[in-house]
Amino acid sequence: MRKASFGLVAIFSFIFFVLISESFAATSSSWTGRPSWMDSGSSGSRMGSSDGQSRRRGGYRSEEIAPPFAPGSHNLSVDVGQVFLLGDLGSSYNDSIGSRLHYTYGVSDLFGFDASFGYSSHSSGRMSMTTALAGMRMNIAWYDKVIPHFNFGLGFFRPSYDLRINNIRNSISPVLFGFHLGPGVTLELSKRMYFGASLTFHNMFGTETILSDGTQHDVGGAYTSFLLSAGMTF
């Protein structure tokens, strides 16, 4: 099962980095601290008028839609990929496919507000994970339309366990607090659409739950997700 999971990640990674390589080959740009849309056209055309009254934050005109992750942009994506359980979670339950709805608001060229709602189910439903996370996105650099970035933040995790102890079924769903962090990369496909990938480490602060038979069960743990995303800007 785990070999198949890593094989799936390897295929996804290969496809993604082929797309990135094609993007690099199609441009003569170099690494810069300025987004590509800030260098498109002359200063006058970006501002829209000589006095700059129609200029919008980031260097694009006010009548134009904000490019992906530009200041003032709203970015919504659907992310799908593999969830790798670690530690005690990994020894008790299988890895699985996970998904999430992901929103980012562009605050500046460097930072964005990040929020997501995710779900994954493991070992035929014996354990599932629901997450509601919020944090910051930091754009590390710009290469034409490719944006490496780093995400970090806090959030709530709700692991649900279906346990059978001494032939007694116990279902527990604690709400835990935790953090997440990890790198990613985004490719702007157009002014409205983008594609990306991210590798994120999640850690839930563990606790103990008392079951109906009086026994204690440790909940919490850590896992890593590798997700591909397809989104649009509005």
> In terms of residue numbers, what domain contains 69?
2-233
Q: What is the CATH classification number for the domain harbouring 195?
A: 2.40.160.20
Report the share of the chain in percent with pLDDT over 70: 68
pLDDT in tens, 164-201: 766 667 788 889 999 999 999 999 998 899 999 999 99
pLDDT of residue 32: 46
Eight-class DSSP state of 153: E
Phi, psi of 89 (to 5 degrees): -65, -45
Domain count for the chain: 1
Tens digit of pLDDT for each residue in 206-228? 777 766 666 676 788 999 999 99
Q: Is pLDDT larger for residue 56 or for residue 127?
A: 127
Question: Between residues 195 and 12, which one has the greater pLDDT?
Answer: 195
